[in-house]
Amino acid sequence: MPEMTRTPVRPIALARALLLLAGGLALSLLYWPGLVTYDGLRQYDQALSGQFDDWHPPMMEWIWRWLLPLWAGPAPMLTLQLTLYASGIAGLAVWSLRRGRPWLAMAICGTTLVPLHAALMGEMLKDCLMAGALTSAAMLALVGLEQRRRSLRVIAAVLIVFAATLRFNAFLAGVPLLLVVAGPRCWASWWRMGLTALVGTLVLLGAMPMANRLLGAEHSDVELSLVILDLGGITHNTGVDVFPSMGRADAAAVIGKCYSPVKWDTYSWWVDPLCPINFADVRKAVHAQGISPYGYLARQIVAHPVAYAEHRLAHWNLATRFLVRDMVDRPVQRQSAPNEVGFAVSNGAMLDRFDGFVMELSRGPLGWPCCYIALALGLVLASGSLAQRLAIRMLAGSGLLYGLGYAVFSVACELRYYLWTMIATALALVIAVSDMAKLAPQSRTGLVAFGPLVVITVTAAVWRL
């Protein structure tokens, strides 16, 4: 790829773009010093103690532990994730300005003003730290490739691997970025691209287990949350107990009664009332019988493919807010979880108004992950005729694969799971629209790009009538 032609960055244009970025960050900072969920509280406790398990990413807890001597509480982690996020957005804005596209730079920074993006980035979540890392990585991969700066591409690769230590399914988001980092030689043929993608997938899949081992994290059997949800769905749909034997004649009836397509938590130890067959029972049976959880689940899927597909589609439909009528789950939180260490966000009227605005917007397409997935698909399909096809394919492809992955890997219908899909798709959208403005009026690129979005949005809206 030839080095890009640079246009001098005009300070006024840069200031306008950064002003929008500052506005988006200000919305996230309404949640200062960072909204802490139950997950975050558990991670903070482990950061304090230095005793990690792998229920939540130990890498995040390890980093938090290093930050605590400098600044106690959630503020340093919030600062880190917003710094990574803002650096990526600002870098993409400069990339746009060097191409002589000031309006695109403003649009890129303007994506931070999307209320759901801003609200979720104010929460202390692994999803937010991962999204910040991937935003910076995408920028560095793109700029490093075009400017032939290997150092930037190396940093991008490190950030992508880091993101993969935060979520086991982050490899789906990371592979399209790694392909850009790898460079044109790896795209010279389909077999080279396939091999590069395979190697990248293996590296990213191994990142979390390797990090957990290096940090000495205790194994918590966290994978059982996915296994239990899927076995519960199969049992519910077939009426046949497919769980490992736990010595109960009424297991199928009990499991079916506890099952919910919304989340696996109905089998957890923190719900009230406790399911008579729960995580502790399954964990005990798995260890007593020497069962490999994923292998066991795979065998049950093969034995009951229709029941599994029905369960997964029902869950994914709720998670993506496709054919639903009621609010599935609160899209963002308003207050930190109850705690004894005094973590709390503002009770001010400004945050109240912003929270109410976010809640209202989430009832429409901006709060439906199915729309982002459809738009990402359209942008990938339409990118061939666009000048910045590489950037569009990287971002939209990453968001698309990550969003589609939750059809298999999701254990709850929380909107935060789709944060990276939302951010990446929004960035790909503004770049694509900037390119489309230069196409001939008779071009069908727009139809291809927005066709899937229109179909999904109209279908979802009509269903809600």
The whole-number pLDDT of residue 4 equals 52
- pLDDT exceeds 70 at position 83: yes
CA distances from 442 to 239, 387, 445, 453 (A): 55, 17, 9, 20
Residues 293, 308: Cα–Cα separation, whole Å: 16
- pLDDT exceeds 90 at position 160: yes
CA distances from 190 to 64, 196, 197, 206, 439 (A): 41, 10, 10, 24, 28
- pLDDT exceeds 60 at position 87: yes
Residues 60, 125: Cα–Cα separation, whole Å: 9
Mean pLDDT for the chain? 95
Domain tally, the chain? 2
Residue 336, domain member (yes or no): no
The whole-number pLDDT of residue 327 equals 85
- Host domain of residue 279: 224-319
Do 365 and 309 belong to one domain?
Answer: no
Do 128 and 178 belong to one domain?
Answer: yes
Do 201 and 76 belong to one domain?
Answer: yes
Residues 76, 224: Cα–Cα separation, whole Å: 32
248 — pLDDT class (breaks 50, 70, 90):
confident
Average pLDDT over residues 198-212: 97
**Residue of 130, 145, 122 lying closest to 424 (CA atoms):** 130
The whole-number pLDDT of residue 249 equals 85
User: Of 319, 338, 359, which one is at a domain's C-terminal end?
Assistant: 319
Residue 328, domain member (yes or no): no
Do 211 and 239 belong to one domain?
Answer: no
CA distances from 406 to 144, 155, 188, 316 (A): 30, 27, 31, 7
Average pLDDT over residues 60-75: 94
3 — pLDDT class (breaks 50, 70, 90):
very low
- pLDDT exceeds 90 at position 2: no
Average pLDDT over residues 398-412: 97
Residue 1, domain member (yes or no): no
Which position has the token pair 């002003």?
Answer: 19
Which position has the token pair 């694969």?
Answer: 401
Average pLDDT over residues 145-165: 96
Residues 287, 383: Cα–Cα separation, whole Å: 49
User: Of 275, 301, 319, which one is at a domain's C-terminal end?
Assistant: 319
| Residue percentage of the chain with pLDDT more than 70 | 99
Report yes or no: 235 and 241 within 8 Å, Cβ to Cβ.
yes
Residue 333, domain member (yes or no): no
| Residue percentage of the chain with pLDDT more than 90 | 89
Do 391 and 283 belong to one domain?
Answer: no
Do 181 and 281 belong to one domain?
Answer: no
**Residue of 263, 297, 308 lying closest to 416 (CA atoms):** 263
How buried is residue 25: exposed, middle or buried, by Cβ count under 10 Å (0-12/13-18/19+)? Answer: buried
Do 297 and 194 belong to one domain?
Answer: no
